[in-house]
Structure 1
C-alpha cells in the first residue's frame, strides 16, 4: 500500500518584533526570535555601566534584521540633570566652553550642557567601547542608533521654565557629543514625561528633527496606534513604539 503524502507544513513567518533590555535582564533568558534589539549601555544611572552589556550586545547583533528600517542592534543611554543637588554630585563639571557660554561649576545652562556632553562621552568611551571590543563587535559609535532615555524616575530639575531649559541643555550636550562621533540619535520618552522634563523645543535646537521612540503602551494594538501620535520634537518622526508583555519590553516599528 502506497504511503500517503504528508502536506508540507508552512514555516512560521519571521517575527518583526523588537525588544529592549538592560541590567534588569542580566542572567535571564532573552527572546530567541527578534527582528531587532535595543540595549541599555548604563546600569540605571548615567554614571554606571550595565554589567551585562557585553553579553547583551552579542545577543542584539544576532537579531534577524527582518525590519528594513530598524538596525538589528541599537543602544540607549540613561539621562539626567542633577544640577539642583550640587552638594551630592561628584561628576558635575566645573569648566568647559559650551554654546551657552563658559561653565563655571554652578547650576547653569552652560554647565548642564557640559554635564550632558561628559556623560555621553563617558558612556561611549568607558562603558560601550570596551564591552563591544571584548565581544569582538563593531565598536564605532557611528554604526549604531543611540536613544536618549528621558524618564521622570531619573534625577531632573523641576519647578520652572529655567529648570526645563537646563534639562534641555543636558540633552543637547549629549546629542552634540554623539553627533560628533557621527552617530544617529533619537529620543525615548512619553509625551507627558517629555513635557514635564523638557517642555517645548525650539526649531533651532539640535534636538529638533530627532526621531521619537514612544513608550507607555500595554498592548501591540495600543503601540501601533501610538505610532500616529505627535513626535516629541519639531520636525521629528515617531519610528518606534514600545509595549510591555510578560514583563518584557516589546517594540514595533512605525515605518
Structure 2
C-alpha cells in the first residue's frame, strides 16, 4: 500500500509495455497460477513492472495525498480489468486515502454544505467562530465528506457503484490526536462515497494503526460492522490465511489480508481472500 509499501524499485527484467503500464508474468510461489491471490497497486507503480494473472486487483484512486488523483489510474484500472478470477473477491476494487489534517488543511469546511449539498451530519453544525475555522466533530465530518465525494466524482471513475471501495487508514497519512475527530472524518468519507454512488465500503488498516487513529468504534457509527482488509507487512501466504481468523477492526469481518512479497528484484503487495 502507499505507506506500508511506499516505493517499488524498477524491475530489471524484460517487460511488455501495454497502455503505459509495464507488466510482467507472475513469479514464485505466490503466483496466481498456484494460489489465487490478488494484487494491489497505485501511483508508486506508475511505469513499473506489475504482475499479470492475478485473481483480483485493488487500485489506489489517490496519489500521495487524499485530495490528489493517481496519475496512472486509467492505465491501472485497465490492468485490473484483466484479472483472471478464481477467488470470491470482485475482480476489480478501489481504495482511497483517509486523511484529517484539521486546521492545517489547505481547505477546511466552514459549513454543512459542500458543492450545493448538505448531507446529514450527526455531529451537528460545522461553522466558524469570529470568522475563524473550527476543529469540531461536525467540521471533521464535512472534511471527510468532501474527500469521499471528490474521490467518486472528480477522479475519473466511471460507474463507481460497480466496485467495492476501501478506506485506507494509516499513520503515514494525516490524522488528529483525537480519535473522535478521526472517526468523524471517516464517517464523513463514508457518507461522501455513498453520495457519489458507492454501495460497498470496507476498511483497510492494521490493528495497531486503527487503534491509534480510530480508537474504539461504537455500534452507532457507520464505521461499525464493515468488511476489513488487514495489512500484515512482509509475511507469507500461509500466515495471511491464518490472519483471516483474527479479530476484526470494527465489529465487521475480515474479507482480505495483505502481505508484501518478492517480485523480481523488488516487492509487490499480494492479497489473500478470506472468503
Scaled by the length of structure 2, what TM-score is found?
Answer: 0.79
Deviation at 1:176, TM superposition (A): 1.6
Cα distance in 2 for residues equivalent to 1:36 and 1:78: 20
Cα displacement (A) at 1:23? 0.3
Using CA pairs under 8 Å that are at least 6 residues apart, name the structure with larger relative contact order, 1 or 2: 2
Deviation at 1:91, TM superposition (A): 2.0
Q: Which has the higher helix share?
A: 1
2:63 is matched with which residue: 33, 36, 43?
43
Counterpart Cα distance in 1 of 2:193 and 2:253: 19
Partner of 1:225: 242
Query: What residue number does 1:242 align with?
Result: 258
Q: 1:233 to 1:112 in 2, by over 3 A?
A: same
Q: Hey, what's the Cα distance between the residues in 1 that align with 2:52 and 2:228?
A: 26
Partner of 2:3: none
Counterpart residue number, 2:92:
73
Deviations 1:182-207 (A, max 9, x none): 42000000000000000100011111
1:106 to 1:248, Cα distance in 2 relative to 1, 3 A: same
After the TM superposition, list the runs of 4 or more consecutive aligned residues in structure 1 that deviate by more than 4 angstroms.
Answer: 12-15
Aligned position for 1:149: 168
How far the C-alpha of 1:13 sits from its partner, in A, is 5.1
Matches within 5 A, 1:16-31: 16-31=36-51
The match for 2:23 is none
Secondary structure at 1:127's aligned position in 2? coil
Structure number with larger C-alpha Rg: 1
Structure 1 unaligned residues grouped into runs of 5+:
1-11, 130-138
| Alpha-carbon contact 1:208-1:233 (below 8 Å) kept | yes
Q: Distance in 2 between matches of 1:46 and 1:22?
A: 13
Residue 103 of structure 1 and its aligned partner are, at CA, apart by: 0.7
| Structure 1 counterpart of 2:141 | 113
Matches within 5 A, 1:93-172: 93-96=109-112, 98-104=121-127, 105-129=133-157, 139-158=158-177, 163-172=178-187
* 1:94 Cα deviation after fit: 1.1
- Stretches of structure 2 that go unaligned for 5 or more consecutive residues are 1-31, 113-117, 128-132
Q: Residue by residue, what CA displacement relative to the aligned partner does 1:65-111 show, whole Å, maximum 9, x if unpaired?
A: 211x211100000111111xx2x422211111521111113111000
Question: Kindly tell me: are residues 20 and 13 of structure 1, through their superposed partners in 2, closer, same or farther at Cα, counting changes over 3 Å?
Answer: closer
TM-score scaled by length of structure 1: 0.85
Q: State the match for 1:33 in structure 2.
A: 53
* Residue 27 of structure 1: how far off its partner (Å): 0.2
C-alpha separation in 1, matches of 2:261 and 2:35: 15
